[in-house]
Amino acid sequence: MSKYDLKRVLIVAFAIMLVQTFLAVTIAYAQESLMSTLDDDQDGLISLREATGNRFLLEQFNTIDADDDGFLSLQELNKSSFSKG
C-alpha cells in the first residue's frame, strides 16, 4: 500500500467516524426532543396516552417499553431502534 493509498483510507475512515458521530448526536437530540414534546406531565416518561401524539411511536410502544411498565423512558428510547431509521 502506497503512502497515497494509506492517506485516502485514513481520510475515508475519519469521514465515516464524523458521519457516525453526527448521526448519533442527531438521534439523541431527536429522542430528547420527542420526550419533551410528548411528555405532557413532565415526569420524564412517555405514557401510552402521551404516545398517541406520535403515530410511529405508538405503533412501536410495546416493543420499546423494555421493562413493560407502560411508560417509555429516555433510556428505553435510546436503546430502541426508534428514530434510527
Residue range(s) defining the domain that contains residue 54: 3-79
Q: Is the pTM of this model over 0.85?
A: no
HEC sequence for the chain: CCHHHHHHHHHHHHHHHHHHHHHHHHHHHHHHHHHHHHCCCCCCEEEHHHHCCCHHHHHHHHHHCCCCCCEEEHHHHHHCCCCCC
Please report whether residue 65 resides in a domain. yes
Whether residue 84 lies inside any domain: the answer is no
Q: What is the CATH number of the domain that holds 13?
A: 1.10.238.10
Task: Examine residue 74 and state whether it is found in any structural domain, yes or no.
Answer: yes
Q: What is the tally of structural domains in the chain? A: 1
29 assigned to some structural domain: yes
pLDDT band at 84 (very low <50, low <70, confident <90, very high): very low
What mean pLDDT is predicted for residues 65-79? 92
Predicted pLDDT of residue 46: 94
Q: Using one digit for the tens of pLDDT, what is the confidence trace for 8-65?
A: 888 888 888 878 876 666 655 566 777 888 888 989 999 999 999 889 899 999 999 9
